[in-house]
Every structure is written in C-alpha cells, then in structure tokens.
A and B are shown apart, each in its own frame.
Chain A
Amino acid sequence: MALLEVKDLKVRVEEREILHGLTLTVNEGEIHAIMGPNGSGKSTLSHVIAGKPGYEVTDGQILFKGEDLLEMAPEERAAKGVFLAFQYPVEIPGVTTMNFLRTALNAQRKARGETELMVPDFLKKVREVSKSLNIPQDMLKRGVNVGFSGGEKKRNEVLQMALFEPSLCILDEMDSGLDIDALRIAADGVNALHSPKRAMVVITHYQRLLNYIVPDIVHVMSKGRVVKSGGKELALELEASGYAQFEDAA
C-alpha cells in the first residue's frame, strides 16, 4: 500500500521555483534512497513533507496514508507518523534531552488520543534504545545536542526515531560527518527499525551508506525533479560515473 505519494510537486522558495514537478511514491515496508548533486532539492523535498514554513507549494499534492498531507499542521504530521532526521540537527540549551524526548513523545501521544507513557516505562524504553545506539546515559542529561559531536547529533536523531516509532522516516544525510564505526552503529539502529509497516527515505551522497542500509529503490534527483529511478545497482553506477549523465535529462 502506498504510504507516501508525491504527485507533480512544484515548490517555490522566495519567488524561486526549486522543485519543478516532482513525483515519488513510497510503499509501506520499502527503503528508498534519494541521491543527487548539491542544490538539487533533496532537503527542500524533506522540509516540504515535514511542513517547514517558508515553502510555497504552487502545484501538485502529497498524500500520506491517503490523506492530504499539505492540509495538516507540521505537528499533526509528526503525530501521524512523519519523522525527519535533520541534515543539521539544532541545539536547544537548557532543555535536557531526556525532558525533550518525554515532552515530544507525550505531545504526539496526546494528539493521537493516547495516554501519556508512565515514567518508568518511558525510562526503560529510552535506556534500551540508547544502549543499542551506544549513547551514554549522561548525554541524555545534557541540553539537546548541546556540545554533541557531529556523530552524537546524528545518533540522537536515530534515538528519537526509535522512540517515536514513526511510519515514515526521512533521513537527510545521516551519514555526513560520521566515522566508519559511528556510521555502522547508526545504520544498525535504522535497520532495526525496518518493518513491513514502516518506510524509509534515505537521502545521501554516498553509496557507502547504502551498503549498510540496503535500498529497494534508488532515485536520482537533479534540478528539482526525479530524473531516474532504479534498483540498488543505480547507486553503484552513480558512484562510478557521477551525475553528469543525468543533468541533461533534467
């Protein structure tokens, strides 16, 4: 079943069109990779799906579980299961990671009409997940991402993903800035979340990540469009010959 359907999406930022009619369908249980040169609009797509202000959708639509996603407030999208692991996670001084996780989780649960998670259950869950991601407990007592290394920030994104159990995970360059070991840990974390009901959209520049998170479908984006889709071998092809061959297609 289609989880996410992006149809002929046109998006402007400050009077300039960035996405020029982008189409993408992601089914439940699938892993998609999106590759493409700098500035081709990958982050823009992820922001529009998550509902970041400042983008004007001039045409096309986005359906999530059959519902019009563009009609929903961004926090509503989150509660419905859209998760974006940011390319550049922000720092929130004075708000401990633990407090942030709990506040966010309960906000989502409340929006879904669920009860708050009891503190002991919550703590147990956080402990389990953070352990599997090699995140030390005292990191959770620090301000959200404050003084975290690049790798720690990315792992913190995966931690949240594991905790919130979203149905659509968009990972924007989660491999950037990670050393080989950190990459494997984060990728293992992502793989552990793979399930028949959950889909992943992995944005990356490097085929290397796709050795760990193996995609069902690879898309090539160029100049605001998906210009080619194929199997995981497409990533290898790109690695060998670069994006130039697709520029004309766009």
Chain B
Amino acid sequence: MPAVQETVERVKRIDVDQYRYGFETLIESEKAPRGLSEETVKFISEKKNEPAWMLQWRLEAYRRWLTMTEPTWARVDYPKIDFQDLYYYAAPKPKKTINSLDEIDPEILKTYEKLGIPLREVAMLEGVEPKPGEEDPNRRKIAVDAVFDSVSVATTFKAELMKAGVIFMPISEAIREHPELVQKYLGSVVPTSDNFYATLNSAVFSDGSFVYVPPGVRCPMELSTYFRINERNTGQFERTLIIADKGSYVSYLEGCTAPQRDENQLHAAVVELVAHDDAEIKYSTVQNWYPGNSEGKGGIYNFVTKRGDCRGDRSKISWTQVETGSAITWKYPSCILRGDNSSGEFYSIAISNGYQQVDSGTKMIHLGKNTSSRIISKGIAAGKSQNTYRGLVTAHRKATGARNFTACDSLLIGDKCGAHTVPYIEAKNSSATFEHEATTSKISEDVLFYCIQRGLSQEEAVGLVVNGFVKDVLQQLPMEFAVEAQKLISISLEGSVG
C-alpha cells in the first residue's frame, strides 16, 4: 500500500474522539510529593541511586532556577503555570525480570496494543528474551529504549550494540555506570544556566537516553525511543545525551504519543548532541503529544531545549522533526557549528490545528571556518491555531566562508489560523553568504476540487495536498518514521476543512 493511500485509510478509521492515543494506563506508580523544593530534588536523586556529584549538579541548577523568570518572547499564550502544583517524579513500581509476555501487566500490554506496537516488539520492549532461532535476520533493526512514564523500563538490542562498542542505555544508568562520560558531557552543550526550562530540567530530570558511539564506529542500527506521559499532573523532564566520537555515525529516532487528559501538562525536555571530528548525528523526531480538545482545553505544554554541538572539524548534525501535537510548542533545535567545515541541518514540519500554538524553529550558529547550514521548514496552520517559525542564523567574526540556506514555507488551511515567520540573521563577517526564502500560501479551493473531481473526499484531498507540501522534509526521515509521520499529518488535520 502506498503511504498516501495508507494515510487515507487511516483517516477513515478515526472515530469521533480523534485522539486515538488518548488513554491512560492504570498501573501503580511511585510519586514524589507535589511541588518543587530542594527536598524534591533530593528525593529524585535518591530514587535513582545517584552519586553525590549528580545531586550537587541538580541542586546547583535548582538554586539557579529560583533566580530565573519564565521567558515571554515567544508567540504563545497560556495561563501561568503553578510550578508548586506539579509532581516532578513518577515511576512504575520496580519490575522483576520476566521470561514471557504472560508475566507483563495486562494494562501495559493494552497500552502497547492501542499504540499499535506489535507484540513481537513488546516482547523486546519489555525485555523478554527471544528463544534461540526465533530471530528474523531480515528484520530491519531498531533498538528501542522505552521511556514508560519517567523510568526507562527496558532496553533492547543491548548486547549487539555492546559488541560494536556503542553504549545505549537510560541516562540514569549511565550516570552510575559511565560517570566519566556523563560528567564530561552533561551540560556541555546546554549549560544548567541556559534558559528557564532547561535549568528546571537540569534540577529534576527523571530519565532519558544516553548514547555514546566510539571512534570510527557506524552504529549498527537506528536507535529509537517511545515516550509516554502517564501520571496525572506529572511533569515530564526527559534528558538525552548523545555523543558521536571521531569518525562515528549514529541515527536516533524519537517518537511520542500521550494520553488524553483535562489538565495541562508541562513537558520540558533537554537533548544534547556532541559530534567530534568527522562524526555525524542524525536526530529525527515525530512528536504527537495530546494537543487539547476541540475547545482548546487540556493538552501538553512542550518547552524543549534541543541543541547539537558540531565540536569537531567536518562534523555534521541533522535535526528532522515532525511536530503535530501539544497545546503549546516552544522548541528550537539548534546547531553550534564550532568545528571548521562542519555542517548543520534542520528539516521541520510543524502542524497546528484547533487551538494549538506552535513557536518553533532553529538556530544555526556559525563559529568555525567554512561551515554550512541548511534549514527547510514547512509550517501548516489549520483551525484556529497559530504557527510561528522563528529562526536565527549567525556568523561569528571568525566564521569566514559561512553559508546558510533557509527555505521557510507556510500553508494555511481556512481563514481563522495564522502563520508567522520571524527570521533573525546576523553576519559579523563579510564572507558569509546567507540566503533566505519564505512563502505563505493558502490551500487552494481549485486544487482541492481538482482532487475531489478525481474521486477523493475533501479530507483525502487535504491529506494529499499537505503530504505533497511537506514532501522534501518527509524524505529526510527514515522509512518507517516517514510512514508514521504521514499518518500523523492526516490525523492531525482531521476536521480542519468543510
């Protein structure tokens, strides 16, 4: 089935409540007391059996955070968050080792089923060992580190990665097992004092992924994580750290879906990437947090700090994102092009519908010589949503020969939504060449009717036209993600016309 056809099929299957992934899993969980204090930070650190240096690091961040104020420059509007009314930690009760799927909590199995994750994969997610001879060698390999609520419940393909020398584990484990790596790199790209949300994350981050690829190693599989928010009123503070050592390569996929709920939920993740000489990191995201209901109630507040440091010469970092969810998105995956001849890329599809507010974009900071960056952003606004692209491209005085190309296209569906483009461009040396192109268009009635005259329904027509509009970016995603993303795009535009 071609992906577009599949999109169409999928859209047809959607029931009244469009948000299929809006469900809760009733598993017991262990919570930190409500609110944020030094006690909360200590509680989290203790729960995770962290070494003293880690607790100190967190506490410093916490004290710093107390002095900071929430940023207000983004084009988003939401009621004030009461940070003392949130829970900062929740973990499923510790699990015993399991030998078969029968031993897994049926509630968890149901969750996976609704998410459409095949049982075969659930077995891997839940750490059930395959029987010898059962392994299918033709199967495309994806290692999945499942973040179920705040604790990584399972890590797969661990052995094979180990053989290649790749470290892929929950960051809480890495803190204990590879303290020298974590201490060296954590906060080296996004310092604890970076911004309000990143600082908050540094104080209370619960878990996330850690990846280290040693020199010269091409990571033998795509690395993937499923994120879920599962406890009512629990802020989710993911922390991810990926290091590609000299001449290595890694592709990391992040995808998420969240349960439907009434109250707004805060999500403030931090992702740090470090690429040394000749290394390459490809980071792909499909983001589908609960966007709120048709009246704009509920939905996730997503304040994310993602930054990649092209620390080495000829290094390369590429961000690809498909943003369809969240009530509020505040997210600017960035590249610091420090090494000479390093390059950064940002490919983005940001879709907003209903009352969603998206303020997203990127920063390309050219510091090294002959560095290059490329930005392709596709914003789609429907319903009563507001969609802002905010992009910064700068060249430092010493960044001779810096090059940037930016293409920023917005598509409007209906006339109650808005698309905005806010570029900041600064070249501090004359040899920099920065190109910026921007377009805004409305989905054309004539184009829709053309498709409908050929037999497509209105919704199928919108799906087709939008998928065409975002094609350049979809092509950047690994195959399995591209298909998933296409489905999401159509689902999130459900009910945007007619």
Q: Using C-beta atoms within 8 Å of the partner chain, give the interface range for chain A.
A: 35 or more
Question: Which of B2, B444, B445 contacts A103 (CB under 8 A)?
Answer: B2
**Also in contact, A90 and B454, with CB within 8 A (given A103-B5, A143-B468):** no
Question: Which of B447, B451, B470, B472 contacts A104 (CB under 8 A)?
Answer: B451
The answer to whether B454 and A164 touch across the interface, beta carbons within 8 angstroms, is yes
How far, in angstroms, from A105 to B460 measured CA to CA in the complex? 13
Q: Mark A53-76, 1 if CB is under 8 A from B, else 0.
A: 110000000000000000001110
Distance (whole angstroms) from the CB of A89 to the closest CB of chain B: 7
B412 within 8 A of A: no
Count of A-B residue pairs with CB < 8 Å: 88
A79 within 8 A of B: yes
The answer to whether A92 and B5 touch across the interface, beta carbons within 8 angstroms, is no
A78 within 8 A of B: yes
Tell me which residues across on chain A come within 8 A of B454, comparing CB atoms: 78, 100, 104, 107-108, 160, 164
Tell me which residues across on chain B come within 8 A of A94, comparing CB atoms: 467-472
Closest to A54 in B: B445
How far, in angstroms, from A238 to B145 measured CA to CA in the complex? 76
A126 within 8 A of B: no
The answer to whether A53 and B465 touch across the interface, beta carbons within 8 angstroms, is no
Tell me which residues across on chain A come within 8 A of B446, comparing CB atoms: 88, 90
Distance (whole angstroms) from the CB of B30 to the closest CB of chain A: 48
The answer to whether A52 and B449 touch across the interface, beta carbons within 8 angstroms, is yes
How far, in angstroms, from A111 to B471 measured CA to CA in the complex? 27
The answer to whether B5 and A106 touch across the interface, beta carbons within 8 angstroms, is yes
A135 within 8 A of B: no
How far, in angstroms, from A103 to B469 measured CA to CA in the complex? 16
Question: Which of B5, B444, B447, B472 contacts A102 (CB under 8 A)?
Answer: B5
Q: Mark A76-103, 1 if CB is under 8 A from B, else 0.
A: 0011000110101111111100011011
Distance (whole angstroms) from the CB of B486 to the closest CB of chain A: 12
Tell me which residues across on chain B come within 8 A of A84, comparing CB atoms: 453
Question: Footprint of B on A, CB under 8 Å?
Answer: 50-54, 73-75, 78-79, 83-84, 86, 88-95, 99-100, 102-108, 111, 116, 143, 160, 164
Beyond A75-B457, A86-B453, A88-B446: 16 further Cβ-contacts under 8 Å? A73-B457, A75-B455, A78-B454, A83-B453, A86-B450, A90-B444, A92-B451, A95-B467, A99-B2, A102-B5, A103-B2, A103-B464, A104-B454, A104-B456, A107-B457, A108-B454
Question: Footprint of A on B, CB under 8 Å?
Answer: 2, 4-5, 8, 444-447, 449-458, 460, 464-465, 467-472
A-B contact pairs, 17 of them (CB 8 A): A52-B453, A54-B445, A73-B457, A74-B449, A74-B453, A75-B456, A78-B453, A78-B455, A90-B450, A95-B467, A99-B4, A100-B451, A100-B464, A103-B456, A104-B451, A107-B8, A107-B456
